[in-house]
Amino acid sequence: MSKQKQFGSFSDLGGLVFSTNLDMKLEEDRDPVSAMAPEKQNLRIWLERGKGGKESTLVKGFEGPDEELEALAKLLKNKCAAGGNAKDGIIIVQGDHRDKVLKLLLEKGFKQTKKAGG
């Protein structure tokens, strides 16, 4: 008797069972995101007010790999002495740090960075 391998979950199958999308690419087929030069990045700095009047500084428009986004977010959070996170091309720094973030991004070579919003 031969034993057949049994799969414990869909993730053992690569997470995909069936798709009707003919243009779909598997994760390993996707092109890696290339880094865009900082001087070509078009970043905008926003102030967002959340629940209870809490403010956050948002940096939107980053294009590049997630590793570079995380590194830039870490730098901004450290220089502003604040918490926050980064995902989907958006960096969130807790508190109103628009002026400081603008100065830091310009120093890092992001020349097309501006404040946005009201």
End-to-end alpha carbon distance in the chain: 73
Q: Residue 58 maps to which CATH number?
A: 3.30.780.10
Residue 58 lies in a domain: yes
Residue range of the domain that includes 72: 38-115
Residue 4 lies in a domain: no
Residue 82 lies in a domain: yes
pLDDT at 24: 66
44-49 vs 114-115, strand pairing mode: parallel
Q: Average the pLDDT over each of 20-29, 44-53, 81-90 and give the range with the smallest value.
A: 20-29
Residue 16 lies in a domain: no
Q: Provide the number of structural domains found in the chain.
A: 1
- Taking the whole predicted model, whether its pTM rises above 0.75 is answered as no
Residue 22 lies in a domain: no
Residue 79 lies in a domain: yes
Please, what's the b/e burial string for 56-75 (b: 16 or more CB within 10 A of its CB; e: otherwise)? bbbbbbbebeeebbeebbee
Residue 96 lies in a domain: yes
- Confidence tier at 39 by pLDDT (50, 70, 90): confident
